[in-house]
Chains A and B, each alone.
Chain A
């Protein structure tokens, strides 16, 4: 596992987190394959957009 996860960037770790949590949330809250696929994709995109948005908002403070 170390060779896979040992040198992930912040963005890659966030992508991994978003995929796994989206799938779990979809199985927790939806029934049926189609509903679950739709929900997990929606949640994944939401995670991604929120993370990029917050990163963009915080960018001026890093200067």
Chain B
């Protein structure tokens, strides 16, 4: 597979990281990593959408304890899926049932996974090892 070289650039790296956080895969798209962009969007988006479809809970900014705060940061990692969670999940969360509880974990996993892809996009933008 032919890989296009990315000239290291701090501004590009930060822009790719922010774009990748907001929309999973967008950072890699800006860096011309087409297959990675598509896979990350589908995987993170699929995981986040599944979590919401299973009526998982989404943690808000006003968390009461440390675990809720960690959950908030994990959920926030999903970028646009976090901000649109209430629009996507019309029926609201239902964590009283096991399926809703699994959904909460899937959504948090999507956020954490996206943060890993953000770090990679930043590294590629800088012309680092992943480039």
Interface segment out of the listed B15-23, B37-45, B57-65, B68-76:
B37-45
Asked if A52 is at the interface of the complex by the 8 Å CB criterion, the answer is no
Closest to A4 in B: B53
Q: Which of B40, B50, B116, B120 touches A5 (beta carbons < 8 Å)? A: B50
Cβ B54 vs Cβ A5 within 8 A: yes
Cβ A13 vs Cβ B109 within 8 A: no
Q: How far is the CA of A5 from the CA of B55 in the complex (A)?
A: 9
Asked if A42 is at the interface of the complex by the 8 Å CB criterion, the answer is no
What band does the interface of chain B fall in when counting residues whose beta carbon is under 8 Å from A? Answer: 20 to 34
Cβ B102 vs Cβ A27 within 8 A: no
Asked if B9 is at the interface of the complex by the 8 Å CB criterion, the answer is no
Chain B contacts for A4, CB-based, 8 A: 50, 53
- Interface-central residue, A1, A10, A32, by most chain B CB under 10 Å: A1
In order of increasing CB-CB distance, the 10 nearest A-B pairs are: A1-B53, A5-B53, A13-B102, A24-B43, A5-B50, A20-B43, A5-B54, A27-B39, A2-B53, A20-B47
Which residues of B does A touch, CB under 8 Å?
1, 35-36, 39-40, 43-44, 46-47, 49-50, 52-55, 91, 98-99, 102-103, 105-106, 109, 113, 116-117, 120
Which residues of A does B touch, CB under 8 Å?
1-2, 4-8, 10, 13, 16-17, 20-21, 23-24, 27-28, 31-33
Please list 10 pairs of residues, one from A and one from B, whose beta carbons are closer than 8 Å in the complex, sorted by A's number: A2-B53, A4-B53, A8-B99, A17-B105, A17-B106, A20-B46, A21-B43, A21-B113, A23-B39, A24-B40
